[in-house]
Amino acid sequence: MYTANLSFILTWKMVIFTLFVLNFTITLTLVLFASVVALLTAMTYFFWRRMNYWQEHGIPHDKPSYLYGSFRGLTKLYGFSDILRSMYQRYKHTGPFCGYYFFQRPAVMILDTELVKNILIKDFSNFSDRGLFHNEKDDPLTGHLFFVDGKKWHVLHGKLSSTFSECKVRGMFPCVRDIAQQMISTLDQLLERNANVEVKELMGRYTTDVIGKCALGIECNSLANPNAECRAIGRRIFTDRRHGLLVSGLIQGFPQLAQKLHMATIHPDIEKFFMRLVRENVEYREKYNVHGNDFMELLMELNKGAKLRYDKNDEFKGLTVEEMTAQAFFFFAAGSEKSSSTLSFALYELAMQPELQDRLRCEINETLCQHDNKLCFESLNEMAYMKQVIAETLRKYPILPHLARQALHDYVVPGHPKYVIPAGTLVTIPVVGIHYDPEIYPDPERFDPERFTPELVKARNKVEWLPFGDGPRKCIGFRFGHMEIRVALTFLLQKYRFSLSAQTVEPVEVSKSFSVIPRNGIFLKVERI
């Protein structure tokens, strides 16, 4: 009897315990479900508010995609420059700026050139940051002068800008001239096999050797070997991405969150190459006491074995090897790709209009004749029409189609109290939109170097031509880039005539990415003169 009662009691206890566990499980499940629903609801509301920001503030804008913001079709149907240019044309006369969405990030596009001048120059102190993703700890190559903000940018800019002063560029001229002569020898070899030449690849080999030797003090040998490691990596810098468009968009849409999540954007192979390149370069120079008048020498002088920091007296203490590598990477990428694309576009346009090519060739020959048929730094600077041709090329094909800034504090647009740029907002200056504005440059699709005669340049607002930016964050390498391009054009046009071939694509195809670079190269017929 006692045993039966005990069994009965135990059974009921098991039932009660089971019911308790079941009830607890259901309650916990409901709590978790409610929490997930609440979290999803909060995130949905956050995204909804974020993606309706400009509508709530009554600022003209396009209806965004929740995934891609204002960039539907980017890389598949359109390039970044196409989207910016179209947006600029639609909203130009609606106000000083329009709203758009840099993926999931509300941003403004400046439509008024006076406001452009304020942001780049007059009110620069409020727009000194770019506000773009960089993560020096997990993605060290992003810690370069172009991306970094705040005090670090000010220090780096002050330390590095002297590298490309007019005096330093003059000192680099003989090296550039020697490499240009090597380019001519390489082109002669190519012409022995085929008169149709893919000029973008040849220009890329030339600029890779130039920036490698003059900035980093290394022999890339790209002209001698098209498969040289430096050139192979150079091709990949603008094509190989660590993530797809969607993840990249999320990184740029939430740069601070991406940094906290230890995300990176540079492809690991590219990072490893440049880390090895700089370390080996530094070790070799230190071991053999090698010194050079180049960018790498300056970086080594700034390398004190301590991370960029300040002592108790607020003084700069030095760069680590990683920080040195980031600067070397940036100047290698910018110096090789921007110049090679500009050269290729210039040759293409001159091939399209032979009369312009003949005029420039005539100027080259006349100028060199006055200097014993030798190219020197002084003769290069005397070629006025050459400068016009390059300026028009950069107008029509700005490699960076926009400039990025970020407001540090709320900014009320002068004369437009309704238009306020909130602190932390990404500001975009649509370089390609301004360069193709028919009110500034009539018939903008036409290649016309006469737009840049001294008289017209003087009469034009200087922020209406921005291939290198303007103000304190203007590209510090613009003098070097100009010199590199002019030297190449001088050698090429003095010895060869460029024309269209059966392989030339008209109009030239531009990459559907964030940069204005040739999509599939540029083929031209080349003849010795």
**For the packed helices 321-352 and 384-396, what is the interaxial angle rounded to 10 degrees?**
100
Confidence of residue 31 (pLDDT cuts 50, 70, 90): confident
Instruction: Give residue-wise pLDDT tens across range 380-432.
Output: 999 999 999 999 999 999 999 999 999 999 999 999 999 999 999 999 999 99
Q: Is the pLDDT of residue 107 over 60?
A: yes
- Is 167 marked within a binding site? no
Residue 170, token pair as written in the block: 């003059």
Return the minimum-mean-pLDDT range out of 36-40, 86-90, 520-524: 36-40
Instruction: Give residue-wise pLDDT tens across range 302-340.
Output: 876 444 555 555 566 678 889 899 999 999 988 888 899
* Cα angle 512-516-335, degrees, rounded to a multiple of 5: 130
| Domain containing residue 124 | 80-528
Q: What confidence score (pLDDT) does residue 326 get?
A: 94
In a domain, 6, yes or no: no
Top mean pLDDT of 17-31, 250-264, 467-481 is at 467-481
- Picking from 106, 48, 101, the residue whose alpha carbon sits closest to that of residue 70 is 101
Q: Which parts of 264-353 fold into alpha helices (H)? A: 268-288, 295-302, 321-352
Give 360's contacts (C-beta < 8 A, 6+ positions apart): 350, 385, 386, 389, 489, 493
In a domain, 412, yes or no: yes
Q: What confidence score (pLDDT) does residue 247 get?
A: 87
Q: Which pTM value belongs to this model?
A: 0.89
Q: What confidence score (pLDDT) does residue 347 get?
A: 98
Mean pLDDT calculated for residue range 118-143: 95
Contact between 92 and 370 (Cβ < 8 Å): no
More confident residue, 311 or 146: 146
In a domain, 33, yes or no: no
Q: What confidence score (pLDDT) does residue 251 get?
A: 87
In a domain, 417, yes or no: yes
Residue 106, token pair as written in the block: 């509300």
* Chain Cα centroid distance, residue 383: 29
Q: What confidence score (pLDDT) does residue 309 get?
A: 53
Give the β-pairing of 523-528 and 496-499.
antiparallel
Top mean pLDDT of 68-77, 107-116, 244-253, 318-327 is at 107-116
Give CA–CA dist 394/523, Å, rounded.
Answer: 20
Residue 166: count other Cβ atoms within 10 Å of its Cβ.
11
Average pLDDT of every residue of the chain: 90
> What domain count does the chain have?
1
In a domain, 21, yes or no: no
Q: What confidence score (pLDDT) does residue 3 get?
A: 55
Give CA–CA dist 348/356, Å, rounded.
Answer: 12
Mean pLDDT calculated for residue range 239-255: 83
In a domain, 17, yes or no: no
Mean pLDDT calculated for residue range 444-449: 98
In a domain, 70, yes or no: no
Domain with residue 310: its CATH number is 1.10.630.10
